[in-house]
């Protein structure tokens, strides 16, 4: 069964190839069948392989499959090879399964779009490359997937390319992530230079035996890889592309935010955890960046009016939590939050897409309202996902994943009260902005009439994801609730367990109660300020602080001034390209000489004859004299 | 049988060639230019024949026959062109026939 591993990325890739070549000639049913089917079989295979892997684990709890050697240059031979262990299995599962649900949803959602087959071709490629990324056995193949998802995100964000704004957003996403990718590529060059291999397991092995903990080389490499992760995962300071990436269709946002693309950074850090372990400064940076990002993005989400932008900022914020977990050494919990986040964030985006479609492409959530009765399925699933995002205590999956992260940001031996405080504030803000959104969209009076109700395929997708958003949490219970944690036990075959500060063990329950109370307070606050007592918030909207937060804390403004304007300025100065002047001079010279020669062409035969004679005389003279 | 001295033959050829050249350069009527070219051709032919007599070799005379044949061909083509030129422009003055300038 494990030998079928290669089919998981290969099937969506095959789907992409078929759709890209024959998609234009197929009817929409055929396109949907092929596009959804390829990912569907891939998801089914993942589940079967996962069951096989767990029930009869291979030696060393990992399975390698080499298809062929990619290239062989002086002993450096990366292969097209896959490595399955508990970490990549969980990622593959989340990607293929959530991706499959998003595909089902898209089959209905995009039905009226003229680019139907193009859409599914891109989506299939996206899933294929993301699975390649997480299954890759060496960094080169991982980098292929890494750049591939970058390309697909570019294609899908700019899917409606007739709008210049969408193309701008696609360019922005591509260029900003490219900054991180460059840093990552340099990091990989460093690794090749030292180990002459890109095989991930080999490198991690060599790092732990050959490098010194905290040496500048380890720190430098870790920081360079972190740069790549920051770009892809939209963390501070490269987070600006994600809110603009909302230009794509809603299923694309769901795919980018939940299953693919932005979680690549989390995967990279978890995969190279040994390296980060050997570079404590870099690991601290991961935690600090995660904490700052989750706070800043959370505040920005508070002021947004576009429903998809709220969700975008909440993604940045939640990935901040994952980074925080990785940064304090709670590797498995970062991955757990990734999986739960994939469920509820995909659900939120898909439900938001259904709402937007129902209201004539209205994005402003304050023009919605009262949709509770009109769209009951969307309402309930959205509510469940929101509760999960806000970490509503006990019943939602988000509670189990986020609460643990908050606890470990204090209790881990490299955690600190500051990180805990920030993550706690973040949790509070999360519940405020999430329920602000719920109240604005589904409660109050109806402001826009519903034009189109979601169909069967959309509803099924939403319900399945809602079930996962609730039940997904019960595979990982905190110590205080029995400590039934098969998920982390499973992951601990690959990732080390979190090391606790010895003295803090009995107060976990207290921390959980604080978090739970704050979450509920946040929901109440949202109810007060955005539902009952709107006047205060109207006044707040006029303040400079609100505008500052609305613009994403001015990062775009800052980057415009720091990088874009100088670049444009120099471009203006050098408009008449300096180097070009040399070549312009050459053309000018030949034109001038040409003008002079033209004058000798008088059209008089006698003049020509005279010149020929003169030439002959001169030549003869030279020959005779010399 | 008296031999014409080699030098005088060459001098005659040179004088004839120069006369032809001057004719080409100063005449404006295209027929006279054609005539002058013929003179130049024959001057060079004379130089060939003189040289062949000087070294008692037949190649110079063979060359002259070539020149004659070529001159005949050239004259026929040239005269035909002149006919066409006159037909088109109603003039034989080469200085006014300068449509091909720059």
Annotated domain spans of chain B: 10-89
Look at A39-48, A59-68, A428-437, A616-625 and tell me which has the smallest mean pLDDT: A59-68
Look at A138-142, A362-366, A458-462, A467-471 and tell me which has the smallest mean pLDDT: A362-366
Round to whole Å and give the CA distance between A189 and A134. 20
Q: Mark whether A507 and A616 lie in a shared domain.
A: no
Q: Do B25 and A610 touch (CB under 8 A)?
A: yes
Helix (H) or strand (E) holding A535: helix A534-541
Confidence of residue A248 (pLDDT cuts 50, 70, 90): confident
Q: Is A621 helix (H, G, I), strand (E, B) or coil?
A: helix
User: Is A221 inside a domain boundary?
Assistant: no
Round to whole Å and give the CA distance between A25 and A29. 12
ipTM: 0.84
Residue A362 contacts residue A343 (beta carbons within 8 Å): no
User: Is A31 inside a domain boundary?
Assistant: no
Residue A504 in this model has a pLDDT that exceeds 60:
no
Confidence of residue A538 (pLDDT cuts 50, 70, 90): low
Instruction: Name the β-bridge partners of A69.
Output: A79
Q: Do B25 and A598 touch (CB under 8 A)?
A: no
Q: Mark whether A582 and A441 lie in a shared domain.
A: no
Tokens of A184: 């990552």
How close B102 comes to chain A (CA, Å)? 5
**Facing B24 at nearest CB: one of A598, A599, A609:** A609
Q: Mark whether A308 and A439 lie in a shared domain.
A: yes
Residue A532 in this model has a pLDDT that exceeds 80:
no
User: Is A106 inside a domain boundary?
Assistant: no
Instruction: Name the β-bridge partners of A62.
Output: A85
Q: Which of A491, A526, A542 is the last residue of a domain?
A: A542
In B, minimum Cα distance to A606 occurs at B25
Round to whole Å and give the CA distance between A484 and A497. 15
Round to whole Å and give the CA distance between A454 and A352. 11
pLDDT tens by residue, A418-441: 888 888 888 888 888 888 888 888
User: Is A494 inside a domain boundary?
Assistant: yes
CB contact B33 to A (< 8 Å): yes
Q: Mark whether A474 and A610 lie in a shared domain.
A: no
Print the domain residue range for A382. Answer: 279-542
In B, minimum Cα distance to A605 occurs at B94
pLDDT of residue A536: 66
Q: What is the CB-side half-sphere exposure of residue A82 using CA atoms within 13 A?
A: 26
Residues 6+ apart with CB under 8 A from A285: A223, A226, A327
Q: Mark whether A514 and A583 lie in a shared domain.
A: no
Q: Do B101 and A606 touch (CB under 8 A)?
A: no
CB contact B34 to A (< 8 Å): no
Q: Do A603 and B94 touch (CB under 8 A)?
A: no
Q: Mark whether A357 and A406 lie in a shared domain.
A: yes
Q: Mark whether A580 and A531 lie in a shared domain.
A: no
pLDDT of residue A568: 85
Q: Mark whether A367 and A512 lie in a shared domain.
A: yes
Residue A15 in this model has a pLDDT that exceeds 50:
yes
User: Is A237 inside a domain boundary?
Assistant: no
Residue B28 contacts residue B94 (beta carbons within 8 Å): yes
Chain A residues contacting B, CB < 8 Å?
598-599, 601-606, 609-610, 613
The pTM score is 0.78
Confidence of residue B1 (pLDDT cuts 50, 70, 90): very low
User: Is A555 inside a domain boundary?
Assistant: no
Residue A412 contacts residue A289 (beta carbons within 8 Å): no
Q: Mark whether A535 and A589 lie in a shared domain.
A: no
Residue predicted with more confidence, A305 or A625: A625
Q: Do A613 and B25 touch (CB under 8 A)?
A: yes
Round to whole Å and give the CA distance between A322 and A294. 10
Average pLDDT over residues A188-205: 85
Helix (H) or strand (E) holding A175: helix A164-195
- The percentage of residues in chain A with a pLDDT greater than 90, rounded to a whole number, is 6
Residue predicted with more confidence, A513 or A446: A513
**Facing B102 at nearest CB: one of A598, A609, A613:** A598
User: Is A344 inside a domain boundary?
Assistant: yes
Angle between helices A264-271 and A331-358 (to 10 degrees): 170
pLDDT tens by residue, A468-479: 888 877 877 777
In sign, the C-alpha dihedral spanning A271, A277, A282, A286 is positive
Look at A266-275, B1-10, B51-60, B77-86 and tell me which has the smallest mean pLDDT: B1-10
Q: Mark whether A511 and A377 lie in a shared domain.
A: yes
Residues 6+ apart with CB under 8 A from A303: A541, A546, A547, A549, A550
DSSP of B33-96: HHHHHHHHHHHHHHHHHHHHHHHT-SHHHHHHHHHHHHHHHHHHHHHHHHHHHHHHHS--BTTT
pLDDT of residue A506: 67
pLDDT of residue A619: 95
Q: Which residues of A touch B33 (CB under 8 A)?
A: 605-606
Confidence of residue A117 (pLDDT cuts 50, 70, 90): confident
Residue A391 in this model has a pLDDT that exceeds 60:
yes
Confidence of residue A71 (pLDDT cuts 50, 70, 90): confident
User: Is A364 inside a domain boundary?
Assistant: yes
Q: Which residues of A touch B19 (CB under 8 A)?
A: none
Q: Mark whether A428 and A487 lie in a shared domain.
A: yes
Confidence of residue B23 (pLDDT cuts 50, 70, 90): very high
Distances (CA, A) of A614 to A618, A621, B21, B22, B25: 6, 10, 12, 12, 11
Q: Mark whether A450 and A512 lie in a shared domain.
A: yes
Residue B36 contacts residue B27 (beta carbons within 8 Å): yes
Round to whole Å and give the CA distance between A626 and B18. 24
Of A170-174, A470-474, B34-38, the range with the highest mean pLDDT is B34-38
Q: Which residues of A touch B101 (CB under 8 A)?
A: 601-604
Residue A334 contacts residue A268 (beta carbons within 8 Å): no
Distances (CA, A) of A157 to A13, A164, A441, B56: 20, 12, 25, 95
Q: Which residues of B touch A616 (CB under 8 A)?
A: none
Burial of A5 (0-12, 13-18, 19+ CB in 10 A): buried
Is 1.10.287.3510 the CATH classification of the domain at B10-89?
yes
Round to whole Å and give the CA distance between A372 and A379. 6
How close A595 comes to chain B (CA, Å)? 9
pLDDT tens by residue, A82-105: 888 888 888 898 888 888 988 888
Domain count, chain A: 2
CB atoms within 10 A of CB A434: 28
Confidence of residue B43 (pLDDT cuts 50, 70, 90): very high
Best of A600, A602, A603, A617 to disrupt the B interface (most B CBs within 10 Å) is: A603
């Amino acid at each position: 069964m494990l030998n079928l591993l290669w089919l998981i990325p290969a099937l969506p890739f095959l789907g992409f190839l078929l759709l890209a070549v024959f998609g234009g000639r197929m009817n929409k049913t055929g396109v949907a069948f092929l596009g959804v089917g390829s990912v569907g079989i891939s998801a089914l295979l993942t589940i079967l392989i996962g069951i096989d892997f767990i029930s009869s684990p291979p030696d060393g709890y990992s399975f390698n499959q080499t298809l062929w050697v990619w290239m062989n240059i002086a002993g450096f031979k990366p292969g097209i090879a896959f490595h399955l262990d508990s970490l990549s299995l969980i990622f593959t599962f989340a990607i293929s399964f959530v991706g499959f649900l998003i595909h089902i949803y898209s089959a209905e959602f995009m039905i009226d779009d003229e680019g139907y087959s193009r859409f599914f071709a891109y989506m299939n490629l996206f899933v294929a490359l993301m699975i390649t990324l997480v299954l890759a056995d060496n960094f080169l193949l991982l980098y292929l997937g890494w750049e591939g998802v970058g390309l697909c995100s570019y294609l899908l964000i700019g899917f409606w390319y007739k709008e210049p704004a969408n193309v701008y957003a696609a360019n922005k996403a591509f260029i900003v992530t490219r900054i991180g990718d460059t840093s990552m590529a340099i990091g990989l060059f460093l690794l090749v230079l030292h180990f002459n291999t890109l095989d991930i397991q080999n490198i991690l092995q060599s790092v732990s035996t050959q490098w010194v903990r905290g040496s500048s080389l380890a720190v430098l490499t870790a920081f360079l890889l972190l740069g790549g992760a920051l770009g892809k995962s939209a963390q501070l300071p490269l987070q600006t592309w994600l809110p603009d990436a909302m230009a794509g269709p809603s299923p694309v946002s769901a795919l980018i935010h939940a299953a693919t693309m932005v979680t690549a950074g989390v995967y990279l850090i978890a995969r190279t955890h040994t390296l980060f372990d050997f570079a404590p400064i870099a690991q601290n940076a991961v935690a600090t960046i995660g904490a700052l990002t989750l706070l800043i993005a959370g505040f920005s989400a508070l002021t947004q009016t576009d429903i998809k932008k709220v969700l975008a900022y909440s993604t940045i914020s939640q990935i901040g939590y994952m980074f925080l977990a990785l940064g304090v050494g709670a590797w498995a919990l970062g991955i757990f939050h990734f999986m739960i986040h994939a469920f509820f964030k995909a659900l939120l985006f898909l439900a938001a897409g259904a709402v937007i479609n129902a209201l004539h492409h209205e994005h402003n959530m304050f023009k919605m309202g009262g949709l509770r009765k009109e769209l009951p399925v969307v309402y309930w699933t959205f509510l469940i996902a929101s509760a999960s995002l806000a970490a509503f205590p006990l019943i939602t999956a988000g509670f189990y994943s986020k609460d643990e992260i908050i606890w470990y940001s204090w209790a881990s031996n490299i955690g600190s009260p500051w990180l805990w405080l920030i993550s706690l504030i973040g949790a509070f803000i999360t519940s405020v902005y999430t329920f602000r959104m719920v109240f604005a969209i589904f409660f109050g009076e109806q402001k826009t009439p519903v034009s189109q109700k979601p169909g069967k395929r959309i509803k099924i997708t939403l319900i399945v994801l809602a079930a996962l958003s609730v039940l997904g949490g019960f595979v990982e219970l905190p110590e205080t609730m029995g400590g039934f944690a098969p998920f982390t036990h499973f992951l601990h075959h690959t990732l080390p367990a979190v090391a606790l500060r010895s003295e803090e063990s009995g107060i976990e329950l207290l921390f959980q109660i604080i978090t739970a109370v704050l979450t509920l307070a946040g929901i109440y606050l949202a109810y007060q300020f955005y539902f009952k007592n709107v006047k205060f918030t109207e006044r707040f909207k006029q303040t400079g602080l609100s505008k500052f937060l609305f613009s994403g804390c001015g990062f775009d403004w800052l980057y415009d001034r720091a990088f874009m304007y100088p670049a444009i300025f120099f471009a203006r100065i050098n408009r008449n390209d300096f180097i070009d002047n040399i070549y312009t001079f050459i053309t000018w010279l030949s034109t001038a000489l040409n003008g002079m020669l033209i004058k000798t062409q008088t059209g008089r035969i006698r003049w020509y004859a005279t010149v020929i004679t003169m030439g002959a005389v001169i030549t003869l003279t030279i020959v005779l004299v010399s | 049988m008296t031999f014409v001295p080699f030098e005088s033959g060459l001098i005659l050829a040179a004088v004839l060639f120069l006369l032809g050249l001057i004719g080409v350069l100063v005449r404006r009527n295209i027929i006279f230019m054609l005539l002058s070219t013929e003179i130049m051709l024959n001057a060079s032919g004379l130089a060939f024949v003189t040289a062949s007599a000087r070294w008692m070799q037949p190649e110079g005379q063979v060359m002259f026959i070539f020149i004659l044949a070529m001159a005949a061909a050239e004259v026929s083509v040239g005269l035909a062109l002149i006919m066409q030129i006159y037909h088109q422009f109603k003039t034989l003055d080469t200085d006014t026939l300068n449509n091909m300038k720059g």
